[in-house]
Chains A and B, each alone.
With several copies, the nearest count.
Chain A
Amino acid sequence: MSRAEIVESADAAVAGIEDGSTVLVGGFGLAGMPFDLIDALIRQGAKDLTIVSNNAGNGDVGLAALLAAGRVRKVLCSFPRQADSWVFDGLYREGKIELEVVPQGNLAERMRAAGAGIGAFYCPTAVGTPLAEGKEEREIDGRKYLLEYPIRGDYALIGAHLADAMGNLVYRKTARNFGPVMATAATTTIVQVDEVVEPGTLDPEAVVTPSIYVDRVVQVAARHYTVQGAR
């Protein structure tokens, strides 16, 4: 990937996302959710999307708003159903959206494999459960494993705390969650940050996502949403 581009608006950041794309969306609940990018994606209009994210939307904002706008064909996630997932629940029960449930660690590790050039890996999670259905099982050193394949994204939309002008990223606390992994697994990684700083400002020992994984960065005004009933 060539050097990251710092763009002026969330709309510029999501320009060109095609219908039918697979989009990795960061966040664990609301923490780390790239709200401005998702709102821009709704305005941009891409449809028939496959979304890979830990949850399937919370409240009526972010991913839930994208779902409500009818742009999503399928969701791969670990935890679609929770107290505030009413948008997804409705679509799912009406048969308007596909769901593939992936254990949370496999979701992360399969994206890591995509970013790391691993063709597939044997994972002990879900052996002997309904989620093992259709997966190749293999015993290694007396333990059973399932063969898991990479999950690649055409785009990743993630939220981070700071970027330098080269695209190096740091995160804040548990808002880090899936961001660094998704950044490695997508062809084009788009990041919203609280602030863009000069190269040399971030401690090179503390950079979490090196610039090579970042394609577009936009600084947004306010990242935290307060959502009644959503978490």
Chain B
Amino acid sequence: MTTTSTATSSATSSGQAYAGAPRSAEHRLSMDELAAVIARDIPAGSFVNLGIGQPTKIADHLPADSGVVLHTENGMLNMGPKAEGDAVDPDLTNAGKVPVTELPGAAYFHHADSFAMMRGGHLDVCVLGAYQVAFNGDLANWHTGRPDDIPAVGGAMDLAIGAKDVYVMMTLFTRSGEPKLVPQCAYPLTGVGCVSRVYTDCGVFDVGPDGVRIRETYGVSAHELAEGLGITLS
């Protein structure tokens, strides 16, 4: 079902000559399946921040005995699942302002302490959504750059540079078929060279100073994927 292969970015890739999304779309992972893949890769006992949106799904796939401790940047460690019914407390939300619960061994702290924890490199893993990721690990996930768009960064830039490993979770292609893993981000950056791994519906990639490397593919060959993204298999 998955194939593993290796590619490095071509320094001369044009950056615009994309072939569009691979055709075998039915074999791509759903976001829920992808969340399970990421959950599998998070080491037991890690301290983890899951970004707003799709990454929050990862929590549902962490084994009960994983010992993973979730951080939410609005001031809590050992956050529990989403709160339902009577458990909803307006004073207890996650960073997406969704009511959540508290697990035994939780701790609360204020915003400066919470971001000191992130910025100081104490979190093991942070998983974020993205508009675009560059082969070198640059991240764009806060602003489309459209003139009529109201910019809003939240904690994205702090998260991007804070954790020991920053993973991105996203679809590999936009709805119109443009790759989101690119030689260079066209959107305004959130952080420079900060992403180490990109999890997508079509495959998993390592990115960084040495360029991009395909780790796994879903419903598409590494060769097809490399071609679609304009990267050179080594």
B29 at the interface (CB under 8 A from A): no
Query: What is the minimal beta-carbon distance from A205 to any residue of chain B, in angstroms?
Result: 6
Query: What is the minimal beta-carbon distance from A126 to any residue of chain B, in angstroms?
Result: 5
Note all chain A residues with C-beta closer than 8 A to B91: 31-32, 161, 172-175, 224
Note all chain B residues with C-beta closer than 8 A to A171: 108
Note all chain A residues with C-beta closer than 8 A to B67: 3
Residue of A nearest to B150 (CB): A81
A218 at the interface (CB under 8 A from B): no
Query: What is the minimal beta-carbon distance from A192 to any residue of chain B, in angstroms?
Result: 14
Note all chain B residues with C-beta closer than 8 A to A126: 157
Complex formed: what's the CA distance from A30 to B96 in Å? 12
Query: What is the minimal beta-carbon distance from B37 to any residue of chain A, in angstroms?
Result: 21
Task: Tell me the total A-B contact number using a CB cutoff of 8 A.
Answer: 217
In the complex, identify which listed stretch (A8-16, A38-46, A65-73, A97-105) lies at the interface while the others stay far away. A97-105
- Could you tell me if B112 and A111 are in contact, using CB atoms closer than 8 angstroms? yes
Complex formed: what's the CA distance from A89 to B149 in Å? 10
Mask of B107-142 contacts with A, CB within 8 angstroms, 1/0: 111111011111111111000000000000010000
Mask of A200-213 contacts with B, CB within 8 angstroms, 1/0: 10101101101111
A109 at the interface (CB under 8 A from B): yes
A177 at the interface (CB under 8 A from B): yes
Which residue among B73, B105, B111, B188 has the maximum number of chain A CB atoms within 10 Å of its CB?
B111
Note all chain A residues with C-beta closer than 8 A to B46: 2
- Could you tell me if A174 and B92 are in contact, using CB atoms closer than 8 angstroms? yes
Complex formed: what's the CA distance from A127 to B57 in Å? 29
- Could you tell me if B76 and A105 are in contact, using CB atoms closer than 8 angstroms? no
Complex formed: what's the CA distance from A184 to B115 in Å? 13
- Could you tell me if A30 and B112 are in contact, using CB atoms closer than 8 angstroms? no
- Could you tell me if A125 and B107 are in contact, using CB atoms closer than 8 angstroms? no
Residues 71-92 of B at the A interface (beta carbon under 8 Å): 71-78, 89-92
- Could you tell me if A176 and B108 are in contact, using CB atoms closer than 8 angstroms? yes
Residue of B nearest to A2 (CB): B45
- Could you tell me if A181 and B111 are in contact, using CB atoms closer than 8 angstroms? yes
Note all chain B residues with C-beta closer than 8 A to A17: none
Query: What is the minimal beta-carbon distance from B95 to any residue of chain A, in angstroms?
Result: 8
Query: What is the minimal beta-carbon distance from B190 to any residue of chain A, in angstroms?
Result: 6
Which residue among B45, B90, B102 has the maximum number of chain A CB atoms within 10 Å of its CB?
B90
If A199-B104, A200-B105, A204-B107 touch, whether A174 touches B72 (CB-CB below 8 Å) is yes
Query: What is the minimal beta-carbon distance from A93 to any residue of chain B, in angstroms?
Result: 8
Residue of B nearest to A198 (CB): B104
If A177-B111, A207-B107, A210-B107 touch, whether A105 touches B119 (CB-CB below 8 Å) is yes
Mask of B91-106 contacts with A, CB within 8 angstroms, 1/0: 1111001100010111
Note all chain A residues with C-beta closer than 8 A to B77: 210-212
Residue of A nearest to B155 (CB): A104
B189 at the interface (CB under 8 A from A): yes
Residue of A nearest to B148 (CB): A93
Note all chain B residues with C-beta closer than 8 A to A207: 107-108
Other-chain contact of A28, B97, B105, B109, B119 (Cβ < 8 Å): B97
Note all chain B residues with C-beta closer than 8 A to A205: 108
Residue of B nearest to A126 (CB): B157
A-B contact pairs, 17 of them (CB 8 A): A28-B75, A29-B97, A54-B111, A78-B155, A101-B153, A103-B154, A108-B115, A109-B112, A115-B122, A125-B119, A128-B192, A173-B102, A175-B90, A176-B109, A177-B111, A178-B111, A211-B105
Known contacts A30-B97, A204-B76, A211-B107; can you find 11 more A-B pairs with CB under 8 A? A2-B44, A3-B69, A31-B97, A89-B150, A101-B152, A116-B116, A117-B120, A127-B161, A127-B192, A166-B105, A205-B108
